């Protein structure tokens, strides 16, 4: 157990260092973008004096290194600054938008994770038979299609042709839980179809790898049913790679929602980022990039920790 805790501590320290490095890359990436932020805010008709005053006000005259550490210090205190386009607090805006994105990602995860495990179990139970081939073909077809195509196809069928669901996923604080669920069904199903295939195929591969072990053959010789062997003996021992895949896809659900949110005009982090990229609002772009990076690193770190804690060879080393 001590060895496992040491590995967990090392992963956490590595995650913090990686996030620090990513913050520097994000800041440097926005700094080297062509154009003048002050000019884009004031427009072409701005006078040199007004441009100089705005640069002084925004701190653009200071060296990039000084501005980076000033920005990083604010981030560590929970202050992401103010948007250049509106002057509103970025922290407050991201708090609301991030809650919407997490709600959408949680909805997709609740649909996709149990369905992926169930389809993986069924595919293993009927390996190389019709159910396995049908599931594999369907999931391969869904993973081959880009998010925007799936989203527009669902809008066309269920929103325009059938009229069952709203084509635009507008949510607000006054909506109750049922209304919010109705509004996010189409983007949630789009995300589910995108990540379902990968999780299902990895679940199938992990279980098939475990089934070749000697103790599975012993269970078969005892007369246990095929599905019971898979569910009771193979699945628990295949959890480590499955958890890794689930966490990686959860990270994609949260970080990769930009296209889906833009398609459905959903007020989440992705839509917020795209809107302010168009306005060249550098502080918002930096803040959104850092939040996405932090979530992705956190979920990958969580996957590593769970893998370590569920590995008996690490918990009980010889």
- Joined tokens for residue 59: 């701190």
| pLDDT by 10s per residue, the chain, length 318 | 576 677 778 888 888 898 889 888 888 887 776 666 665 666 666 667 766 776 666 666 677 788 788 888 888 887 777 787 777 788 888 888 888 888 888 888 888 888 888 888 788 778 778 888 888 888 777 777 787 888 888 888 888 888 888 888 888 777 888 888 888 888 888 888 888 877 788 777 777 777 666 666 676 667 666 667 766 666 666 666 777 777 777 777 777 778 888 888 888 888 888 888 777 778 888 888 888 888 888 888 887 777 777 665 555 555
233: DSSP letter: I
Residues in the chain: 318
Distance of CA 221 to the CA centre of its chain: 43
User: What sign for the dihedral angle of Cα 236, 240, 244, 245?
Assistant: negative
Structural domains in the chain plus CATH codes: 99-279 (1.10.3720.10)
Q: What are the start-end ranges of the H helices in 222-264?
A: 226-229, 235-237, 239-255, 258-264
Q: Are 24 and 68 in contact (CB under 8 A)?
A: yes
């Amino acid at each position: 157990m001590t060895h496992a805790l040491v590995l967990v501590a090392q992963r956490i320290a590595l995650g913090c260092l990686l996030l620090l490095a990513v913050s520097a890359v994000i800041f440097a990436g926005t700094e080297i973008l062509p154009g003048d932020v002050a000019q884009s805010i004031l427009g072409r008709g701005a006078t040199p004096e007004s441009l100089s005053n705005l640069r002084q006000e925004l701190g653009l005259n200071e060296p990039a290194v000084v501005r980076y550490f000033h920005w990083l210090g604010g981030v560590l205190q929970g202050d992401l600054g103010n948007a250049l386009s509106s002057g509103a607090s970025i922290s407050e805006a991201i708090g609301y938008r991030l809650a919407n994105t997490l709600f959408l990602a949680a909805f997709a995860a609740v649909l996709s994770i149990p369905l992926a495990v169930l389809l993986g179990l069924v595919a293993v139970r009927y390996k190389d038979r019709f159910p396995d081939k049908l599931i594999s073909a369907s999931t391969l077809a869904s993973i081959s299609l880009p998010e925007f195509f799936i989203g527009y196809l669902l809008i066309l069928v269920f929103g325009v042709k059938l009229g069952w669901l709203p084509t635009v996923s507008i949510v607000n604080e006054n909506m109750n839980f049922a209304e919010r669920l109705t509004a996010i069904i189409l983007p949630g199903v789009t995300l589910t179809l995108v990540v379902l295939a990968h999780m299902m195929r990895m679940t199938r591969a992990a279980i098939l790898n475990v089934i070749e072990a000697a103790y599975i053959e012993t269970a078969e010789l005892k007369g246990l049913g095929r599905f019971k062997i898979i569910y009771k003996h193979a699945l628990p021992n295949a959890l480590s790679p499955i958890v890794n895949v689930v966490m990686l896809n959860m990270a994609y659900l949260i970080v990769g929602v930009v296209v889906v949110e833009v398609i459905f005009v959903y007020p989440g982090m992705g839509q917020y980022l795209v809107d302010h990229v168009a306005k060249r609002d550098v502080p918002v772009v930096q803040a959104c990039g850092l939040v996405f990076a932090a979530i992705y690193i956190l979920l990958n770190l969580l996957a590593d920790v769970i893998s370590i804690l569920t590995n008996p060879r690490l918990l009980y080393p010889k």
